[in-house]
């Protein structure tokens, strides 16, 4: 059977919320072309907003509007994810307008995010120039790990794989809110910016060496595509 075209959008939404929030109710999905309206209905009382992932499977000119807020307007080539706060007690909708016949996929779900602390001074300083280096990424990860340990829940299964740190969190860290608070204050902005940087650098590197469709949706899998090319990520150009 063919894979669900919305699966990549769902994957991007899951990456955005991580272990730091939870989905509520039945998600909305759409795959097709042209104009469409996705009715979200009234926000559940336990929801703090929605997570919206939009994936242009083929490049297109697209406008995406949530209620009256424009999320995407113009050329779209790839995927994007937003977590949006909405007004409770009202009925909400997502409107997509596309003059092209190219295919796109949408995944949207109500989400509950716990109240989170602001970014720490260290994370804010690292993000000030809009560029995250690997040194800044490692320092932020260490602050995040230290915060989690101080909260009583050390990170589990830490492995320095390739160019970032896969890790696991125990259930107690999630249910207590320690994971979400530490992630938001010390690591979230830097983690997302670094992984986006790694992705763009890796895609350009693989394409330059003749790899077709370098983005499978899984960064570990795509980093392994460097192995038969006898390359490491360090050897890819434009690395920050």
Contact 20, 180 (CB under 8 A): yes
Which of 20-24, 132-136, 233-237 is predicted most confidently?
132-136
Confidence check: pLDDT of 41 > 80:
yes
Whole-number pLDDT of residue 78: 81
Contact 111, 26 (CB under 8 A): no
Whole-number pLDDT of residue 8: 84
Residues 6+ apart with CB under 8 A from 54: 9, 62, 64, 71, 72, 76, 79, 80, 81, 96, 104, 105, 106
pTM, two decimals, is: 0.57
Whole-number pLDDT of residue 72: 87
Q: What percent of the chain has pLDDT over 70?
A: 95
Rounded Cα distance between 35 and 93, Å, is 13
More confidently predicted of 177 and 240: 177
pLDDT digits (tens, 9 = 90+) for 47-104: 989 999 999 988 889 999 999 889 888 888 888 888 888 877 789 999 999 988 899 9
Whole-number pLDDT of residue 2: 54
More confidently predicted of 234 and 162: 234
Whole-number pLDDT of residue 17: 77
3-class state of residue 90 by DSSP? coil
Whole-number pLDDT of residue 200: 87
Rounded Cα distance between 52 and 40, Å, is 11
């Amino acid at each position: 059977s063919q894979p669900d075209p919305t699966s990549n959008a769902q994957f991007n939404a899951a990456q955005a919320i991580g272990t730091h929030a939870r989905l509520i109710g039945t998600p909305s999905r759409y795959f097709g072309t042209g104009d469409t309206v996705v009715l979200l209905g009234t926000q559940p009382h336990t929801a703090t907003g929605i997570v919206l992932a939009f994936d242009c499977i083929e490049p297109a000119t697209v406008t995406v509007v949530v209620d009256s807020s424009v999320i995407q307007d113009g050329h779209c080539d790839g995927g994007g994810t937003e977590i949006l706060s909405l007004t409770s007690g009202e009925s909400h909708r997502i409107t997509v307008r596309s003059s092209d016949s190219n295919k796109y996929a949408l995944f949207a779900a109500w989400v509950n995010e716990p109240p989170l602390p602001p970014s720490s001074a260290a994370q804010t300083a690292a993000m000030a120039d809009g560029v995250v280096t690997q040194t800044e990424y490692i320092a932020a990860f260490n602050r995040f790990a230290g915060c989690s340990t101080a909260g009583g829940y050390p990170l589990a299964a830490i492995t320095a794989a390739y160019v970032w740190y896969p890790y696991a969190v125990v259930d107690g860290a999630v249910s207590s809110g320690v994971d979400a608070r530490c992630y938001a204050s010390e690591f979230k902005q830097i983690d997302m910016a670094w992984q986006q940087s790694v992705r763009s650098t890796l895609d350009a590197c693989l394409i330059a060496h003749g790899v077709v469709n370098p983005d499978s949706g899984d960064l570990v899998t795509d980093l392994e595509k460097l192995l038969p090319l006898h390359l490491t990520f360090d050897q890819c150009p434009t690395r920050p």
